[in-house]
Amino acid sequence: MGRVTRLSHDKRNVSSTGASGRALYDNLQLAEISKLERDVSAHLSSKPHRLEHSLAVGECAESLALTYGLDPYPARCAGILHDWDKALTADETISIARERGVDMGVDIALVRPLLHGILAAQELPTLYPELPPEVFQAICRHTTAAVDMSPLDEVVFVADGIEPNRPASDGIAKARSLVGEVSLDDLFWESFVGGIIYVLQGSRYLYPGTIDIYNGIAAHRSTHKENE
């Protein structure tokens, strides 16, 4: 694919070097990123838009990680792989989740759009044992979020929502405008709440766990603000 970030000191390519102009990745990491991009290209070959999105989320997550002072490597890897199980059909997704006993507390068919992250996080550690576990947690949480999102989880969640191929709704445009202007926690919150509004405005089913996560984070944020 030729998309892999290269060892370069060309500052025009934001994804190739950090602010200092140093190369971001060593040769092993570059080889791994190249392998992941090749693998996902083959795995999602019948879904070109999904593939384009996956590669873009990898690059967007890498860029966000750099903006917020995080290691770009796990962000890039998680972004590339996050929609691995979008290769499955809707029926396959539901039946595999049932086979594996995935318990969301509601009929699994109602939360089908959330399942691909959970299923991928179960499969990918066997395929890529060389990747750090936090990569798989971020993949798992890119659909559901969690009360205790790590910075990497937040980066991948946000990148999924704002990568440049996504048509700009008001919410996406706002989240894009906040990158680097607000904290990563605030950027994630904007993206997460925007996702809930999207579900409500579309009269879609809202997973009850999402309400619990919303309330958990909202309570934490209000306590944090009171202590400031």
Beta carbon nearer to Fe ion, 7 or 172 = 172
Least distance to Fe ion, CB of residue 28, Å: 26
Select the span of 9-17, 20-28, 159-167, 186-194 touching Fe ion (CB under 5 A).
Answer: 159-167
In single-letter form, the type of residue at position 205 comes to: Y
Site for Fe ion in 56-95 (CB under 5 A): 83
Instruction: Report the distance separating Cα 43 and Cα 191, nearest Å.
Output: 28
Contacts of 135 (CB under 8 A, 6+ apart): 74, 77, 78, 81, 124, 128, 152
- Asked whether the beta carbons of 157 and 142 are under 8 A apart, the reply is yes
What's the CA gap between 183 and 136, in Å, rounded?
23
Q: Closest Cα to residue 75, out of 136, 3, 156?
A: 156
Neighbouring C-beta atoms of residue 26, cutoff 10 Å: 11
Closest C-alpha among 151, 127, 132, 131 to residue 141: 151
Q: Is 10 exposed, middle or buried (0-12, 13-18, 19+ CB in 10 A)?
A: exposed
Task: Tell me whether residue 45 or residue 222 sits nearer to Fe ion (CB atom).
Answer: 45
In the complex, minimum distance from the CB of residue 7 to Fe ion, in angstroms, rounded to a whole number: 28
Enumerate residues 31-60 that contact Fe ion by CB under 5 A: none
Give 160 or 190: the residue with its C-beta nearer to Fe ion: 160
What is the nearest approach in angstroms of Fe ion to the Cβ of residue 68? Answer: 20
To which H or E segment does residue 200 belong? helix 184-201
Shortest distance, position 127 Cβ to Fe ion, whole Å:
17
Q: How far is the CB of 142 from Fe ion (least distance, A)?
A: 6
Q: Interface residues for Fe ion in 160-179 (CB under 5 A)?
A: 160
Choose the stretch contacting Fe ion; rule: CB under 5 A; options: 3-11, 31-39, 152-160, 201-209.
Answer: 152-160
Q: Does 134 bind Fe ion (CB under 5 A)?
A: no
CB of 224 to Fe ion, least distance (A): 29
What number of chain residues touch Fe ion (CB under 5 A)?
A: 2
Closer to Fe ion by Cβ: residue 17 or 160: 160
Contact set with Fe ion (CB under 5 A):
83, 160
